Structure 1
């Protein structure tokens, strides 16, 4: 990206409502409106739609299932693949920015996927990824306390007996709900420790840092900005028990 083409994100009206742009602004990184941006795991494409509405004409998305609620999203800019084909349909060194939000907990072969993201990121390009922690006090998909860290049927059965159910499990017995959650945990989630991510990114050649402090500093809610002023403990707690906010760069 040519530095002369970079526009400070603080001047882009509406950017504060899109987490990746807000984070980049706090990190002091600007992007030209012509930057090629990929939302990996874009779902229905709401973020792609928002980026394009802000003038990022080369924003696009990728997911392995069709968006459940298209809600006016231009599907021309979203590619759909399968979990069986992990080679992404993009040329080498294509994207200036790759983003994801609450996606990697569903990716089974994360080493392979990060290899692909490294391949398609342009030299000097960036990655911003929000990756849920395995130690979240409440696993948000099955609503079981610490159900991501301790993936045991007996734990799921205990909470099912106590009446904990997702909205799809209201009519299931405790055993059926426990079986359903155990299947989901194995089939649809993959919580990777932070230490493993450090090894993956280093081996691939990404420069990386955790950007939870910048996430707090540039947050749209004043309460979150106040939490960020508590010192080093706030980013550590957020990273450990909520979400890893990861800033990657592919060296030139």
Structure 2
């Protein structure tokens, strides 16, 4: 294992590499890779530690222990996304591969964002996006059951009364918590149906594939999960519906 990279980082990088390999893409050291929505830049740093030409972009950058975000910014390795008009800070046809992880549930401007991914992807490149399903039983940010679908203040207030808080809400009253959750969900999250997701991506890419099965296959304990899901197909369908969406795209239409 490389210095500075923990087991989870290594696993997730390997997982993504195996998924796109199943579609005929074998990552090479000279590949230029974008982490869309890179946060502190940790994945970009990992990519570079592995010898890839990794870059990242985001609306704003987080600080994270173990990641030298300032150096990544100063070297122009991670760059801020231009908001008005929305534009990724890279030239046309720059990237061989574009990854995103837990990003598309925050995207408020799907057409503009996907159009920009299409623009900066090379004609023979591919994208892989991993993000929570609309039907995930516990919403990942506010921890309220089915809050990706049921966003009313009353619903959020009810669960706040039961004591549910995320890591930033300790000490807040139920009313304050519900108000913050209502604002966050309505302004910073987007959860589309599978059909709507397909429609959005298909406007800009020739091929759009939901590949949760590959995500499961190459994930930790993937062999066990595969055996379980083959024995009880319902579990596989339930996982794809209620847990994670994984979308592979290639063939930018404007190339």
Superposition TM-score, scaled by structure 1 size: 0.86
2:34 is aligned with 1:38: yes
Residue 231 of structure 1: how far off its partner (Å) = 6.3
Once residues 112 and 233 of structure 1 are traced to their aligned partners in structure 2, the CA distance between those partners, rounded to angstroms, is: 36
Residue 24 of structure 1: how far off its partner (Å) = 2.1
Once residues 93 and 236 of structure 2 are traced to their aligned partners in structure 1, the CA distance between those partners, rounded to angstroms, is: 32
Aligned residue for 1:137? 137
Aligned residue for 1:53? 49
Secondary structure of residue in 2 paired with 1:21: helix
The question of whether the paired residues in 2 share the 8 Å contact of 1:139 and 1:146 is answered with yes
Report how many aligned residue pairs link the two structures: 238
The question of whether the paired residues in 1 share the 8 Å contact of 2:82 and 2:89 is answered with no
Once residues 15 and 164 of structure 1 are traced to their aligned partners in structure 2, the CA distance between those partners, rounded to angstroms, is: 32
Once residues 208 and 171 of structure 2 are traced to their aligned partners in structure 1, the CA distance between those partners, rounded to angstroms, is: 45
Q: Which moved more, 1:214-223 or 1:169-178?
A: 214-223
Structure 1: state its 5+ residue gaps.
Answer: 1-13
Once residues 231 and 211 of structure 1 are traced to their aligned partners in structure 2, the CA distance between those partners, rounded to angstroms, is: 19
**1:119-198 pair list within 5 angstroms:** 119-198=119-198
Once residues 60 and 137 of structure 1 are traced to their aligned partners in structure 2, the CA distance between those partners, rounded to angstroms, is: 33
Once residues 131 and 29 of structure 1 are traced to their aligned partners in structure 2, the CA distance between those partners, rounded to angstroms, is: 21
Give RMSD over aligned pairs: 2.1
Once residues 192 and 235 of structure 1 are traced to their aligned partners in structure 2, the CA distance between those partners, rounded to angstroms, is: 20
Secondary structure of residue in 2 paired with 1:240: helix
**1:1-252 pair list within 5 angstroms:** 16-18=11-13, 19-56=15-52, 58-69=53-64, 71-73=66-68, 74-75=71-72, 76=75, 77-222=77-222, 223-230=224-231, 232-250=233-251
Structure 2: state its 5+ residue gaps.
Answer: 1-8
The question of whether the paired residues in 1 share the 8 Å contact of 2:40 and 2:61 is answered with yes
Q: Deviations over 1:24-57 (max 9, x none)?
A: 234442122101110000111111111111111x
Superposition TM-score, scaled by structure 2 size: 0.85
Secondary structure of residue in 1 paired with 2:129: strand
Residue 228 of structure 1: how far off its partner (Å) = 4.8
Residue 179 of structure 1: how far off its partner (Å) = 0.7
Q: Deviations over 1:131-183 (max 9, x none)?
A: 21111100111110001111111110100111112232222221111111101
Residue 67 of structure 1: how far off its partner (Å) = 2.5
Runs of 4+ in 1 over 3 A off after TM superposition: 14-17, 25-28, 82-85, 222-235
Once residues 34 and 116 of structure 1 are traced to their aligned partners in structure 2, the CA distance between those partners, rounded to angstroms, is: 22
Residue 235 of structure 1: how far off its partner (Å) = 4.2
Residue 126 of structure 1: how far off its partner (Å) = 0.2
